[in-house]
Structure 1
Amino acid sequence: MPRKQSIPWMHRWSRPLIAGIATLGAVVTAYLTYTKLTGDAAACPTKGCDIVLSSPYATVFGQPLALFGFLAYTSMIVLAIAPLLVSSSRNQIRAQIEAWTGLMLFLGGTAMLVFSIYLMYLLTFEIQAPCIYCIASAILSLSLFVLALLGRDWQDIGLPLFAGGLVAILVVVGTLGVYANINNPAIAESNPTQPLPGGYTITTTSGEAEIALAKHLAKVKAIMYGAFWCPHCHDQKQLFGQEAVQYISYIECDPSGINPQPQRCQAANVQGFPTWSINGQTVTGVQTLEELAKLSGYQGSRNFKNVESLRS
């Protein structure tokens, strides 16, 4: 009697592993989506994560890019566990679902890997800021691709190679099309779903310390680069308040904004919003008033009233 051929461990465990890895990715992207929508600072050892989240690349069709990542990871979870939910007694139906979802897992993994490679390119050469969450997501995407490729017995390897190549081409073309207007994050085009060129309304009021700091920043010729649609720029202005923000030397980088100066933003190599230029130093992301006071050499009162007044 011939011995029953054993099933490779990769084939047995690929789907549970894919579901587990995709769940981790879903948690990460859900957190980044929440951070982007609320304007909170990301829990990150460097400011790279906030720089990435404040860049135009982090928004697609008016929604956080991380939201689309969350949907992609969630889809991978569903595809991975779908056959496992079918009773083993219904072998034929389960086999059909395994075959269909197996191909979809590979195509999904291919799409996520190709897009992650492009994002790594952006991090390295365009945004030039380290983001541990982005790097982690790229590693997870690579893991999903490998498991989807090696986690089943392909009867005809030509099918996944052809379909995967087609998906890769579509992802590259689609991605380049979405980001076609972003030659430099500093001069990104505005999105029609964003606020009017005047930007978000400043709802906080200023205390004497905020006004004094703003006047000091103007005196030392500190410059804030931003875009009218940028929620992080709005958060920064909220910290100063209505009265103080009038003294800030603000440069609008989006050509669709009011009094835009995209050439100055490009010349300053602005890579994310907001970006501050203070005493020869450049910092990106929302800065606390204490940090701005320190960078600018401000010696006045630091009894700031808007320390926690961020966009709701």
Structure 2
Amino acid sequence: MLTAFGLLLTAYLTWVAVRDTGAAFCTEGSGCDVVQNSRWSRFLGVPIALWGGALYALLAWATWRPAPRLTRWRRLWRLSFLGLAISVYLTLAGWIALAAFCAWCLLSLATLLAIFVLVHVARPDSAPGTQWSTWCLGNGLLALAVVAALHVSSSGLLDRRGGPRLHALAAHLEESGAKFYGAHWCPTCTQQKRKFSGAAAQLPYVECAPNGPNGGMVSECAIAGVTGYPTWVIGGRHYVQVIEPEQLAAMTGFDWEGARGD
């Protein structure tokens, strides 16, 4: 029952992510909106909800596939522990880095916690079949490796390179004096950076709220007259919106078509 609920929950969140629409009860700028559009919302370019759905599907498979009781328990314990570790990591990342929580994500965390507790309590007398320390160490290292991969992905190190044209445009924006003001927790700022893929690190970006949504704005952004995120300042004019690379090229005199063959 819990795995079926988890599948329905992640299917809905995946549908929302693919359609790029807000989930129910997630108003624009809310903690839910911030988390679901953050850099932690995808892994290897795939919505994290879809990965969660795959985990719930594996739990359902392990539950119903004919197997000796001990073998089934081991599979369920490992999968639920892994899912719980990932969910805890994502929740902490949202709390620490974004100062935000997502009610839908917390619901999935509660579901995984319930599954893990039920599996743990129902263990056979012979489980886990080896010493607890060895069992916990092995599964702990597996969970740590997966969480580390998620953390590396969220840092942008696994992003596609972005292509020479995007890199050239990003360098041109810097040279032209354009400025991109944003916040690390801002969903639309994340969307803007994704349009540059691996070249996003070269953008003339200014972090305006390093201490989170309630931490106030740094003086540089206040002096620049920033009133919302993302804000582009190009030629003295303010544009509070996500702008396509092609449009940025036209606005700053960059030869977008000519750079195609670079």
Quick one: distance in 2 between partners of 1:111 and 1:281?
Answer: 42
The structure having more radius of gyration, on CA atoms, is: 1
Is it true that 1:72 corresponds to 2:44 in the alignment? no
2:209 is aligned, of 246, 250, 268, to 268
> Mapping of 1:103-114 within 5 angstroms?
103-114=74-85
Q: Paired residue for 2:199?
A: 256
Q: Paired residue for 1:145?
A: 116
How many positions carry a matched residue from both structures?
207
Unaligned runs of 5+ in 2: 168-178, 231-239, 241-262
Is it true that 1:52 corresponds to 2:35 in the alignment? yes
Equivalent residues of 2:3, 2:56 under 8 A apart = yes
Shift of 1:118: 0.9
- What is the DSSP-based 3-state SS (H/G/I as helix, E as strand, rest coil) of the residue aligned with 1:144? helix
Task: Summarize the Cα distance change of 1:194–1:223 in structure 2 as closer, same or farther, 3 Å threshold.
Answer: closer
Is it true that 1:30 corresponds to 2:11 in the alignment? yes
Quick one: distance in 2 between partners of 1:253 and 1:193?
Answer: 9
Q: What CA RMSD, in Å, does the superposition of the two structures yield over aligned residues?
A: 4.0
- What is the DSSP-based 3-state SS (H/G/I as helix, E as strand, rest coil) of the residue aligned with 1:179? helix
Task: Summarize the Cα distance change of 1:283–1:37 in structure 2 as closer, same or farther, 3 Å threshold.
Answer: same
Unaligned runs of 5+ in 1: 1-19, 84-95, 200-221, 237-249, 285-294, 296-312
Shift of 1:225: 3.4
Shift of 1:253: 8.8
TM-score by length of 1: 0.54
Task: Summarize the Cα distance change of 1:41–1:197 in structure 2 as closer, same or farther, 3 Å threshold.
Answer: farther
Quick one: distance in 2 between partners of 1:63 and 1:197?
Answer: 24
The one-character-per-residue Cα deviations of 1:68-108 (angstroms, maximum 9, x if unpaired) are: 1000001111211224xxxxxxxxxxxx4333222100111
Report the AA paired with residue 68 of structure 1.
Answer: W
- What is the DSSP-based 3-state SS (H/G/I as helix, E as strand, rest coil) of the residue aligned with 1:153? coil
2:152 is aligned, of 166, 169, 180, to 180
Task: Summarize the Cα distance change of 1:232–1:42 in structure 2 as closer, same or farther, 3 Å threshold.
Answer: farther
Is it true that 1:132 corresponds to 2:103 in the alignment? yes
- What is the DSSP-based 3-state SS (H/G/I as helix, E as strand, rest coil) of the residue aligned with 2:160? coil
Equivalent residues of 2:44, 2:158 under 8 A apart = no
Q: Paired residue for 2:92?
A: 121
Shift of 1:34: 1.2
Equivalent residues of 2:43, 2:150 under 8 A apart = yes
Task: Summarize the Cα distance change of 1:81–1:157 in structure 2 as closer, same or farther, 3 Å threshold.
Answer: closer
Task: Summarize the Cα distance change of 1:156–1:167 in structure 2 as closer, same or farther, 3 Å threshold.
Answer: closer
Quick one: distance in 1 between partners of 2:4 and 2:98?
Answer: 27
Shift of 1:151: 1.6
Quick one: distance in 1 between partners of 2:114 and 2:8?
Answer: 16
Quick one: distance in 1 between partners of 2:105 and 2:92?
Answer: 11
- What is the DSSP-based 3-state SS (H/G/I as helix, E as strand, rest coil) of the residue aligned with 1:180? helix
TM-score by length of 2: 0.64
> Mapping of 1:1-312 within 5 angstroms?
20-46=1-27, 47-83=30-66, 96-157=67-128, 159=130, 161=132, 162-180=134-152, 182=154, 188-189=156-157, 191-192=159-160, 198=166, 225=182, 256-257=199-200, 260-262=203-205, 264-265=206-207, 267-269=208-210
Quick one: distance in 2 between partners of 1:164 and 1:130?
Answer: 29
Task: Summarize the Cα distance change of 1:234–1:111 in structure 2 as closer, same or farther, 3 Å threshold.
Answer: closer
Equivalent residues of 1:106, 1:164 under 8 A apart = no
Report the AA paired with residue 174 of structure 1.
Answer: V
Quick one: distance in 2 between partners of 1:59 and 1:43?
Answer: 19
